[in-house]
Amino acid sequence: MIIFGRKIKPSTIGLYVLIIVITIIMLLPFAWMLSASLKFNREVFEFPIHWIPENPRWENYVQIWTKIPLGLFVFNTAKITIMVTLLQLFTSSFAAYAFAKLKFPYRDVLFLGYIATIAMPWQVYMVPQFILMREFGLYNTHWALIALQAFTAFGVFLMKQFYMSIPDELCEAARVDGMNEYQIWWKIMLPLSKPALSTLTIFTFVFAWNDFLGPMIYLTQTDLKTIQIGLRMFISQYSAEYGLIMAASVVAIVPVLAVFLALQRFFVEGVANAGLKG
């Protein structure tokens, strides 16, 4: 078959059609949520579905800020998420440089032991972590969540795989020029690892922003809670206000969507390059 002057195989067309269909199916729940956020409660579950409301109720997006302290919840979540993301970028890239470019005793054994923690479910060590944070006096503070998420074995693994794709000769030349390891990491490795850092930023930001169980365990005061816990409170108090619930849910996903769209051009490149060497 010839399309736009190019010969395209039927199998290729079938693959594109399949991808488009799957994409539409995956986006339908989000489209319904956005549509429902602009409706009255009685209109939310109408069938057939009116995807474009006849009279959009923009007041829903105003009321959600007054029904609960949504602004405070967003601020708390942003504070925790930004700090966790920055700390993970620092610790992961720093440790990954050591594991990828430095030689020291038991390096591979330490790396294997650290990476093995990925296979251990969080629920296994959830109670010991809680006791530890309570003994440190961090219970019912944001620092408990920040301290527990400041390090990630997955981030170290991702960054190490990327650093291994950078020639060792580049580091050797920098050492000959008089650079120490800290300068090599800061001036050479970090600028070259933007795709991997962007990928890690997306994963970390999404996980920290959407974290529900951690804030549920460590935060009990209302003025400390995050947006995910706030949404749960909102649903508990206004279980019949479906339009408002959907509007609050849309607000909750906007920052995640913004971060992904800002960094998505690096995302595929970072994932691909992270697997070049192993």
Instruction: Give the model's confidence band at 277: pLDDT under 50 very low, under 70 low, under 90 confident, else very high.
Output: very low
- Of 5-14, 139-148, 220-229, least confident by mean pLDDT is 5-14
Instruction: Give the model's confidence band at 278: pLDDT under 50 very low, under 70 low, under 90 confident, else very high.
Output: very low
Is the confidence at residue 80, as pLDDT, over 90?
yes
What is this structure's pTM? Answer: 0.84
Q: What pLDDT is recorded for position 117?
A: 87
Is the confidence at residue 178, as pLDDT, over 70?
yes
The contacts found for 204-210 with CB under 8 angstroms, 24 or more apart, are: 204/84, 204/85, 204/88, 204/89, 204/152, 204/155, 205/81, 205/85, 205/256, 205/259, 206/256, 206/259, 206/260, 208/80, 208/81, 208/84, 208/85, 208/149, 209/77, 209/81, 209/255, 209/256, 210/256
As given in the structure block, the two tokens for residue 73 are: 């919840």
Torsion of CA 242, 245, 247, 252, to 10 degrees: -160
Residue 164 and residue 275: Cα distance in Å, rounded?
A: 9
Q: What pLDDT is recorded for position 249?
A: 87
Q: What pLDDT is recorded for position 271?
A: 55
Q: What pLDDT is recorded for position 5?
A: 57
Q: What pLDDT is recorded for position 269?
A: 61
Q: Given the structure tokens 């649903």, which residue do they identify?
A: 235
Is the confidence at residue 92, as pLDDT, over 90?
yes
Over residues 115-123, the mean pLDDT reads: 85
As given in the structure block, the two tokens for residue 133 are: 């944070």
H/E element holding 6? Answer: strand 6-7
The SS3 of residue 47 is: coil
Q: What pLDDT is recorded for position 267?
A: 67
Q: What pLDDT is recorded for position 156?
A: 93
As given in the structure block, the two tokens for residue 187 are: 């001036």
Residue ranges per domain, the chain?
Answer: 2-36, 60-274
Residues 6+ apart with CB under 8 A from 273: 162, 165, 195, 196
The SS3 of residue 226 is: coil
Is the confidence at residue 49, as pLDDT, over 50?
yes
Residue 149 and residue 142: Cα distance in Å, rounded?
A: 11
Yes or no: say if 241 and 184 are a contact pair by the CB < 8 Å rule: no
Q: What pLDDT is recorded for position 3?
A: 58
Is the confidence at residue 98, as pLDDT, over 80?
yes
Instruction: Give the model's confidence band at 81: pLDDT under 50 very low, under 70 low, under 90 confident, else very high.
Output: very high
Fold category of 60-274 in CATH: MetI-like fold (1.10.3720)
Over residues 50-67, the mean pLDDT reads: 84
Instruction: Give the model's confidence band at 268: pLDDT under 50 very low, under 70 low, under 90 confident, else very high.
Output: low
Is the confidence at residue 275, as pLDDT, over 50?
no
Q: What pLDDT is recorded for position 51?
A: 79
Residue 127 and residue 98: Cα distance in Å, rounded?
A: 31
Q: Quick one: what percent of the chain has pLDDT higher than 90?
A: 32
Is the confidence at residue 266, as pLDDT, over 80?
no
Residue 157 and residue 6: Cα distance in Å, rounded?
A: 42
Is the confidence at residue 85, as pLDDT, over 90?
yes
Residue 244 and residue 197: Cα distance in Å, rounded?
A: 36
Residues 6+ apart with CB under 8 A from 189: 93, 97, 101, 163, 166
Residue 109 and residue 172: Cα distance in Å, rounded?
A: 24
Mean residue pLDDT across the chain: 85
In angstroms, the Cα distances linking 50 to 25, 32, 36, 90, 247 are 17, 9, 9, 47, 17
Is the confidence at residue 276, as pLDDT, over 60?
no
Q: What tens digit of pLDDT does each residue of 6-35 get?
A: 667 777 788 888 999 999 999 888 888 888
Yes or no: say if 198 and 270 are a contact pair by the CB < 8 Å rule: yes
